[in-house]
Chains A and B, each alone.
Chain A
Amino acid sequence: MSSRVGALFVYFRTVTQSRRHFFDFLFKFLLAIVILIVISPFFLVLIQVASIGFQQVFGSGPGQGLEFFTTFPGVGLAGGVRNAFVGTVELVVLAGGVGIPLSVFGAVYITEYTQAGWTRAIVEFTSDVLAGIPSIVFGAFGFAFLVDFLHLGMGIIAGSLTLAFMMIPTVLRTTQEALRAVPMSLREASLALGATKWSTTWNVTLRAAFPGLITGVLLAIGRVMGETAPLIFTAGNNLSVPTSLTGSGSWVASMPYTIWAYISDPREYLQAKAHGTALALMIMVLTIDVVANLVSRKVTRRLV
């Protein structure tokens, strides 16, 4: 400890002795402050949400702790947000079930089976544009096209399809990037052994691209999980879980929607539940991001 203090002392003496050292120090100091400003929103949000929500997610009162996830909303303090938790899981699973295969096979087709040219350029351009479109626009489109034009009505189908639309451009592009990163000579090695193109794509190319692909998928899932806007006009809301695929029985709650609905309620215990839900959602999304990160890092080490 004392040696550290000593080192610090020496450092300050050097810093104050010459102009150049001093400016170097000043610059470092300013950069450190900038970094602090850059990362503080994350911690501020976390602190704000956790200060109210922690009790809900980890406490032991009525509707708190495990009960927060396992019971439906009740009267007053009682009950949790099982409807929202289950709803979000169902929506994301359905959206992924539709969106992931479509985007992965789409990316495989466009990258492995077509030559560079107009089709490819158009697909890539529209995907990039779609990926940048605000989510409320997807919500409006989901309402106009799925709910209204296709007469699907609000509910789990329209909601999850809207989320799927949102996932497709990102997953398609990240899958494409992952496929492109696979060296051509791996494909050639497989073909030179007498493999068909399909077998090569499936067993070698996709396998080599898998870690990159899974990273993209996880990030996309993490993103749509927290989206409110696409669901406002398409999924409805529900105090329980959906019981049918059409009609008002198919309406489904979600965590972001519940946060939005509860936070704007004057009753304080509902605001607390909103914070609890927000905390739970943040933890879920963070976990997914961390996993995605680990996977992608493991890969960079494993592939050449």
Chain B
Amino acid sequence: MSNFKHHIEVHNLSTWFGKKAILKDISCYFEDNTVTAIMGPSGCGKSTLLRTLNRLNDLVPNFRREGEVVFRGENIYDMGYSVYDLRKHIGMVFQRPNPFPMSIRENITYGPKLHGVKDEDELEKIVETSLKKAALWDEVQDDLDKPAPNLSGGQQQRLCIARALSINPPVLLADEPVSALDPISAAKIEELIVELKKDYTIILVTHNVQQAFRVSDQAAFLYLGELVEFEKTKRIIEAPADERTEAFITGRIG
């Protein structure tokens, strides 16, 4: 492997939707096998930053970007860089559970099949390991052929995590993955995220300070598209250096 320090580094990134500037000159990196929280009030650009990392913003017609996102030493926005390859290595979990309208099994095998896994036994093994990693196996092992949309919200979200893990990406992006769930399911998924960081580099968007404190190692605080602080989570929360961060943490903005 070539000589890069972190899986993902962001250099002087600015983005626009049409004329509206969203992210302003952001530079940061995401340390391997840790959880980095991206915090900030809603509308500050957290999702935009996350979706710039796997080029999902490319779908938005008037999206524009300057600066670089470097994944394993290569700028992912370089000409000729394969976006399919990139997304194979960077998985994503969304805010609302979005299982495909297929069976539980098909939801998991979709990704591996896309990337050329054909062997039935291997697919079967992937289904089991992915569901186990997402702590869903025990609940659904007898219902693998049932439609995924019949699962409860929390189960659906864990299925979506399992689906993202099915192609074993080193990096996992999660955009407020528990904000649409009940507290019990939310706690389960938080636990899961902590568990997963042993094997994955996780970038978690949240506007919940307590959640960031519980699960993350580093945190980035975004405010109106600016990266205000980027530090160890504990440091940021216990001794914020900027008054905007302090205002957010104490709940005065948000």
Instruction: Please give the residue numbers on chain A whose beta carbons come within 8 Å of chain B beta carbons, in ascending order.
Output: 115, 183, 185-186, 188-196, 199, 203-204, 207-208, 302-304
Contacts and interface: CB of A to CB of B under 8 A. Distances in A.
A173 to B, nearest CB: 22
A189 B115 contact: no
Nearest to A184: B59
Given A183-B98, A207-B102, A191 B56 contact: yes
A194 B115 contact: yes
Interface in B183-213: none
Interface residues on B, range: 20 to 34
Contacts of B46: none
B160 interface: yes
A186 B148 CA distance: 13
Contacts of A304: 149
A196 B82 CA distance: 11
A190 B94 contact: no
B167 A194 contact: yes
Interface in B133-149: 147, 149
B59 A194 contact: no
Q: Which of A190, A207, A302 has the most CB of B within 10 A?
A: A190
Nearest to B94: A185
A203 B110 CA distance: 9
B56 A190 contact: no
B85 A193 contact: no
Contacts of A204: 100
Nearest to B111: A193
A192 B101 contact: no
Interface in B90-127: 91-92, 94, 96, 98, 100-102, 110-111, 114-115
A174 to B, nearest CB: 18
B164 interface: yes
B234 interface: no
Given A189-B100, A189-B163, A194 B111 contact: yes
Contact of A192 (B54, B61, B149): B54
Contacts of B101: 186, 207-208, 302-303
Given A195-B84, A304-B149, 14 more contacts: A188-B92, A189-B100, A190-B100, A192-B92, A192-B164, A193-B114, A194-B87, A194-B88, A194-B114, A194-B167, A195-B110, A199-B114, A208-B100, A302-B147
Given A188-B59, A188-B94, A302-B147, A196 B84 contact: yes
A196 B61 CA distance: 17
B206 to A, nearest CB: 18
A222 B91 CA distance: 45
Interface string B39-60: 0000000000000001010010
A207 B166 CA distance: 21
Nearest to B89: A194
Contacts of B88: 193-194
Contacts of B160: 189
Contact of B149 (A115, A193, A199, A303): A303
Contacts of A302: 101, 147, 149
Most buried by B among A188, A193, A199: A193
A24 B121 CA distance: 69
B61 A189 contact: no
Interface in B11-68: 54, 56, 59, 61
17 contacts: A186-B100, A188-B92, A188-B98, A190-B100, A191-B59, A192-B54, A192-B56, A193-B91, A193-B167, A194-B87, A194-B167, A195-B110, A195-B114, A207-B100, A208-B101, A302-B149, A303-B149
